[in-house]
């Protein structure tokens, strides 16, 4: 147990992240939560094995980090009646899109602060979640590349990133089409300063495109180069889920993606998204 904390922190073998044991998320007192919040800022990702949170407990825990962008959404290829969705189902297309590196809600006017994710049904193989450390990625850039990208920004669009995998993302009676009605893509700097730690972080991923001042091909090549640089050991971590696991990550620092699995096999996760502060997470335009 870390002398500074009332629970056990085991740092992951990466530039970020820790496994946390010795506490129940559903019953944290204020002092324990304050220590946990500081650990979250330090590590970016906290993994809690075997919490088995109820839906209400998940929402209550996520709400302690701030107002919620949305309370609870199933990230699942299983319908409410228990049947597994077909490969061309709209929800499955959204799940396939989530297999690309991204930060949540960069395509919205206000980017998310973080997220709580829980595992309920997981496949026997595949379906892991990976995260990548954008603060460490920035710090590993050459001085020349830092200077090159410092003045640059990119637009972010979920409709466009889904279109790139062949999915016409729009309002749907099933998945709701979250973000589909954003007509003007937000413009975000390629380098974001974390509002609580002060660390510069790359702001890239599958939703980013169209860097003003650069030709399309040059901008795409730069974004691909940054992504390839960022998502390399020791700046990445892959979590193999077990039912009952919970995680919380800092969306201002980390990108994430789902890993492929046999989509004929059920995978049921629940996502609570923590709203960003408009003072620090609003897009430039």
> Hey, what's the torsion of the CAs at 165, 170, 176, 179, to 10 degrees?
80
157 Cβ partners below 8 Å, 6+ apart? 107, 182, 185, 207, 209
| Helix or strand (DSSP H, E) at 110 | none
What does the pLDDT average to over 132-157? Answer: 98
Residue 3, pLDDT above cutoff 60: no
Task: Please give the share of the chain, as a percent, with pLDDT higher than 70.
Answer: 97
Lowest-pLDDT range of 82-91, 164-173, 202-211: 164-173
| Domain boundaries of the chain, sorted by first residue | 8-275
> What is the residue-averaged pLDDT of the chain?
95
CATH 3.40.50.300 fits 8-275, yes or no: no
| The model's pTM | 0.95
DSSP helix/strand/coil, 153: strand
């Amino acid at each position: 147990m870390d002398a500074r904390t009332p629970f056990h922190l085991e740092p992951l073998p990466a530039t970020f992240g820790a496994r946390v044991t010795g506490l129940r998320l559903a019953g944290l007192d204020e002092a324990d939560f304050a220590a946990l919040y500081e650990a979250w800022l330090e590590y970016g990702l906290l993994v809690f094995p075997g919490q088995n949170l109820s839906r209400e407990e998940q929402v209550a825990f996520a709400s302690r980090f701030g107002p919620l962008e949305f309370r609870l959404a199933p990230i699942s290829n299983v319908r409410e009646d228990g049947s597994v969705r077909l490969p061309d189902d709209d929800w499955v297309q959204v799940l396939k899109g989530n297999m690309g590196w991204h930060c949540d809600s960069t395509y919205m006017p206000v980017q998310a602060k973080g997220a709580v994710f829980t595992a309920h049904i997981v496949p026997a193989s595949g379906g892991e979640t990976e995260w990548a450390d954008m603060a460490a990625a920035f710090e590993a850039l050459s001085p020349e590349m830092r200077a090159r990208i410092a003045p640059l920004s990119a637009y972010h669009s979920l409709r466009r990133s889904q279109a790139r995998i062949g999915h016409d993302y729009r309002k749907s009676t099933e998945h709701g089409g979250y973000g589909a009605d954003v007509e003007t893509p937000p413009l975000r700097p390629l380098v974001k300063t974390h509002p609580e730690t002060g660390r510069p972080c790359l702001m890239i991923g599958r939703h980013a495109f169209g860097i003003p001042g650069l030709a399309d091909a040059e901008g795409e090549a730069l974004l691909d180069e940054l992504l390839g640089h960022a998502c390399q050991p020791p700046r990445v971590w892959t979590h193999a889920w077990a039912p009952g696991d919970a995680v919380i990550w800092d969306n201002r620092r980390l990108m994430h993606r789902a890993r492929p699995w046999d989509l004929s096999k059920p995978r049921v996760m629940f996502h609570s998204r923590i709203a960003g502060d408009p003072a620090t997470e609003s897009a430039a335009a």
